[in-house]
Amino acid sequence: MSVNSKRVFYVKYLANPIYIDILKARPDVRLDRIENESPEDFYAPILSAAHVYQIGAARDELAPHFHVDAALLKRTPNLLLVSSNGAGFDPVDVEACTDAGVLVVNQSGGNAHSVAEHALAMMLTLSKRIIQSDRRLRRESNVNRNELVGNEIEHKTVGIVGLGNVGRRIAALCKGLFGMKVLAYDPYLTAEVMAERGGEKVELDELLRRADFVSISCPLDKRSRNMISTREFGLMQPHAYFITTARGFIHDEDALLQALRDKRIAGAGLDVWSKEPPAPEHPLLQLDNVLASPHTAGVTIEARQNMGRIAAEQVLDTLDGKRPPRIINPEVWPRYAERFKQAFGVTPQ
């Protein structure tokens, strides 16, 4: 294989510089960087020659014309692989990639510990009313602590929506540290698998009715979009908390706002938003029983390094003709394999 014959590009950022270090060790791979503001005469040749697009997972951090859709795929005739920096892949039209014979992979599991810890931190902060206590102390004198009585989470019930890499880690922490009962809703897993991962399989309505904490950990797709709205918040217990470290648009923000204003639920911990980051005047940010973060659950030093490493390793394995472990659209494999052989003269295994 000639020098720099395999072309990889990214726009704006990578999870961690370790990605660059790993790819630099391969003389047959060329890595190009594009900025959101790069002129077309600069990026058009890069897109045209590229075999791999290492794409950011956050939709609002990437210029719309660099989202992977049918229009971009027309400009990347040699593209074989779209690799998300994270577990999510919001800027990628997976169906369009499948139609074009392009494989889509993510880095699922790479930040599971960080995201699960964040979810648990939100549960503790809300139940102990730490956020309200902090705000009261900063703006009032003679705060009455008896107005800030919280609750323990020991032996409470957590309902986890999505028992994948993050969800199963949340289950392990909740059970192992606090002896919590874990209910789980995941239509893609059997009751046996969910039991092995620490959760009791239930339907979504039952989970919402029984849980003291509802934690969202599933991907955003057609099935999960607006899955939690007015009806679902109405099923939750008045003392329950809603936690999400998954993706915006899985829950309806307007419905959540109304549920909080009507005191149908006790509070919410929100790491993901329909627009990221949310504006300071966002109505949910005006409520003292809302704990907010700007999609930083998986943003830790350890997680970023891990994500960068596994992303680079998965890209190189794929370019070497191996089947990657984190495929989002496995149905595209036969068509992808044909295109890979046309590009590199070998059939991927």
Residues with catalytic roles: 247, 276, 295
Are the CB atoms for 29 and 6 separated by under 8 Å?
Answer: yes
Q: Is 154 helix (H, G, I), strand (E, B) or coil?
A: coil
Phi-psi region of 64 (alpha: psi -120 to 50; beta: other; left: phi over 0): alpha
Q: Cα–Cα distance between 83 and 285 in angstroms, integer?
A: 33
- Which tokens go with 295? 């999609």
Closest-CA residue to 162 (of 107, 228, 209): 228
Query: Residue 216: in which H helix or E strand, if any?
Result: strand 213-216
Closest-CA residue to 215 (of 253, 192, 193, 246): 246
Q: Cα–Cα distance between 252 and 255 in angstroms, integer?
A: 5
Are the CB atoms for 301 and 114 separated by under 8 Å?
Answer: no
* Number of residues that this document lists for the chain: 349
Q: Cα–Cα distance between 171 and 164 in angstroms, integer?
A: 10
CA 111 vs CA 189, 245, 331: distances in Å: 21, 12, 26
- Which tokens go with 287? 């409520």
Closest-CA residue to 300 (of 90, 108, 110): 110
Closest-CA residue to 262 (of 230, 293, 285, 291): 230
CA 348 vs CA 227, 292, 316, 320: distances in Å: 38, 44, 13, 8
